[in-house]
């Protein structure tokens, strides 16, 4: 099976520029940024409730705890939320989720229902297709997240933990190697 495309920074910008033109621009931007900044799977994002992301004081959490029923392997795991994702989610929540209860879906379809894994995957495919990104899928954000961290010399064990993989060999399959990484590597030779 062919792996999802890992996006370059200019391709991510193109996707975000396209998303800004869409009917549900605020929601779609939050979904795309969540994918690239957290490495969550599409079905994990589809399962999120506002209370998973926001604490009792209304602030975006520093960690999202995914329950076993929300994950692929049926194991609870933590998703760490960086400053950029916190900011994006805070904007989204303020603009799209004001007054909603903690039990409401974080991301809702145009019919105002929770996405399921398949509809979230279809949303990603549609966005990437319309943005002109060939080979991208709902897994592209996850692969890009892992590859970007790997290029910053983050240990594969840390990457596996962040991805929720029980085996580092699974994580290694997510890491793309590109020409810039190869050039930088040979420059380290003394």
Instruction: Tell whether pTM > 0.95.
Output: no
Which own/partner contact pairs does 68-76 have at CB distance under 8 Å and 24+ positions apart? 70/43, 70/44, 71/41, 71/44, 71/164, 72/41, 72/43, 72/44, 72/164, 73/164, 73/166, 75/164, 75/166
C-alpha span between 110 and 92 (Å, rounded): 16
161 located within any domain: no
Query: How many independent structural domains does the chain possess?
Result: 1
Condensed to tens digits (0 to 9), the pLDDT of residues 3-25 reads 899 999 999 999 999 999 999 99
167 located within any domain: no
Q: Which of 27-31, 36-40, 99-103, 176-180 has the lowest mean pLDDT?
A: 176-180
Q: Which domain holds residue 106?
A: 9-142
Q: How confident is the model at residue 173 (pLDDT cuts 50, 70, 90)?
A: confident
97 located within any domain: yes
Condensed to tens digits (0 to 9), the pLDDT of residues 131-141 reads 999 999 999 99
176 located within any domain: no
We report the CATH number of the domain holding residue 85 as 1.10.443.10
Rounded mean pLDDT of 54-63? 96
49 located within any domain: yes
118 located within any domain: yes
In the prediction, which pLDDT does 36 show?
A: 98
70 located within any domain: yes
């Amino acid at each position: 099976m062919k792996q999802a495309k890992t996006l370059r920074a200019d391709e991510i910008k193109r996707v975000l520029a396209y998303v800004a033109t869409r009917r549900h621009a605020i929601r779609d931007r939050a979904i795309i940024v969540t994918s690239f900044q957290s490495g969550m799977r599409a079905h994990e994002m589809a399962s999120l409730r506002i209370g998973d992301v926001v604490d009792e004081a209304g602030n975006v959490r520093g960690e999202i705890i995914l329950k076993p029923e929300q994950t692929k392997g049926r194991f609870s795991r933590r998703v760490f939320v960086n400053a950029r994702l916190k900011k994006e989610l805070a904007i989204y929540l303020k603009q799209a989720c004001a007054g909603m209860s903690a039990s409401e879906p974080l991301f809702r379809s145009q019919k105002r229902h929770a996405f399921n894994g398949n509809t979230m995957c279809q949303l990603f495919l549609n966005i990437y297709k319309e943005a002109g990104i060939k080979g991208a899928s709902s897994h592209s954000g996850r692969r890009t997240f892992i590859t970007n961290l790997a290029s910053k010399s983050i240990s594969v064990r840390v990457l596996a933990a962040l991805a929720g993989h029980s085996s580092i060999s699974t994580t290694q399959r997510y890491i793309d190697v590109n020409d810039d990484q190869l050039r930088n590597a040979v420059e380290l030779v003394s």
